[in-house]
Every structure is written in structure tokens, then in C-alpha cells.
Structure 1
Amino acid sequence: MRYEWRDYSTHRRSLGVTKFILIGVGGFVGALLRYYVSGWIQQMAKDVGFLWGTLIVNLSGCLAIGLFSYLADARGVFTAESRAFVFIGVMGAYTTFSTFGNETMALFRDGENGLALANAGAHVLLGLGAVWAGRALANLIWS
């Protein structure tokens, strides 16, 4: 199964008000889950030197999106509305790292190994670079 890139311009126009509400409610649920799971794990770890809460949220999000994407692709158990709620809303707010992981695995699955590795490297290295650049820019503007 070839990985299908999303055309967000068409996708956005096809979303009805109901789907927007489902995404918003899902985002609310996902954000609260992230806050509580991350805080609970970090408190249990009692190790302020390592960000266990963020790691567990990202790993559990990757596990969940792997389960959900299998059910969506192989079993067809999600409607368009439930996909909007779960994938875009809940999972998008819980952790975008799970989307990155799912899309990268789809590239590997489709035999696009070089593209998958480039995608992983670009997200990590460019993401860290963008955080550094944002902090440097803020320092220039506000210091």
C-alpha cells in the first residue's frame, strides 16, 4: 500500500462543522491527557534530570497511533468523523510525535527507506535547529 500524501487544501474544504467540533473536542481531550500523563509519570519518576513524562507520552502516543492506524487501514473501523476526532484531535494534541512516527513507518513500509531516514533526520535535526533559532531570535528582539 503506497503512502498517500494528504492534500490539506481539499481536506479542509471537505470538513463540515461537525468534524471541526470533533477535532476541537478531541484536541481538548488529548491536551488534558498529555498534561496529566506527563505530570503523573514525571512525579512518579522523581528524576528531574530526565524528562520521563514527555518520553512516555511520546512513546505511548506512538503505540496508540500504531494500533489505531492498523485498525483504520486493515479493518476500516474508523469513520471520517471518528478519524478526525481520534487522529487529528486526540492524538494531535496528545503528541504530534506519534504522527511523525506513523508517517515515517509508512515510508519504510512502502520501501522508501532513504526517504524515511531523511524524514526522521530532518524532523529531529531541523526541529532542534528551529528551537535554537527561535530562542536566538527572541534573545535578539527582547534582550
Structure 2
Amino acid sequence: MSCCGKGFCNFQFADGAPLTDYSVTNMNAQYLFLPYGTLLQKNEIVRIWMESGKAKEVAIEAKWPIAFDQQGAHAVGRDRELPWQLVAMDTGFELDDILDWPNHDLANPNEQPVVLEFRHPIEVKPSLKMRLLQLLYKIRNL
């Protein structure tokens, strides 16, 4: 897979969990707007990815179908409104394009847009004490 036409940045993703249909703008993305839907389901482990080739495994917390009316876009079955600015920022789409997707040039009326919400695994960052103990352990074993 190449992220540019001239082949300057050729990369391939390693084998693993399925990749999301679209890339995210950062590895800590919480939401992903998919204008043409997806077969991915809730609680499935997937890899979010960036165009630079970085990938990270996350779990799908929720999958929200999107309905459009005169007031804008709404997540069907969700008791509160999605943070649309954050969805747009994580996805890399313009906010106005997402909220008015049915009138977009690339919209397909036969496909149901969805928003995936992600649950990131807890990553333990070593404290200063842990680093010091690791250093002392290495020194002891020399």
C-alpha cells in the first residue's frame, strides 16, 4: 500500500487485526466517521491507522448509524449527541461535510453512514521509580 503516487513512502501493514476502512488523524482517536458504512461490529478488535503507516489495536466500543434531518446529523440509538467537532477532527473530514453528508458530491444514498467509537487499551507508562529500579537491576546483573 502506498500513501503517495510517486512511491516515496511505500509501506505495508503487518498481519494482525482487521484495519478500519479509513485512516485516522492521530493514534488517540476516539471516533471515526465512515460515510459508506462498515461490516465491523461492536467489541471487535481492529487496528486504526494513519497514512504514515502507524497502526494501533483498539476495540470498537460502539457503532452508531447516522440519520440526517433538518437539524443536522444524529446518532441513532444514542441517548446524547455525538461530539461532532471531535468526530471531524479524528476522521480528518470537515465538520460541515459530515453534518451535511447527504448533499455532498460523494454521498451514496444507498449506504448508511456510521460513526465508530473506540476503546483504547490501558498503557502503563513507567514511573521514575520503575525506571530507577530497572537501571539498578541492570547494574546488579553486569
TM-score under structure 2 length normalisation: 0.23
Specify which structure has the higher proportion of helix. 1
If the length of structure 1 is used for normalisation, what is the TM-score? 0.23
* Greater Rg over alpha carbons, structure: 2
More strand per residue: 2
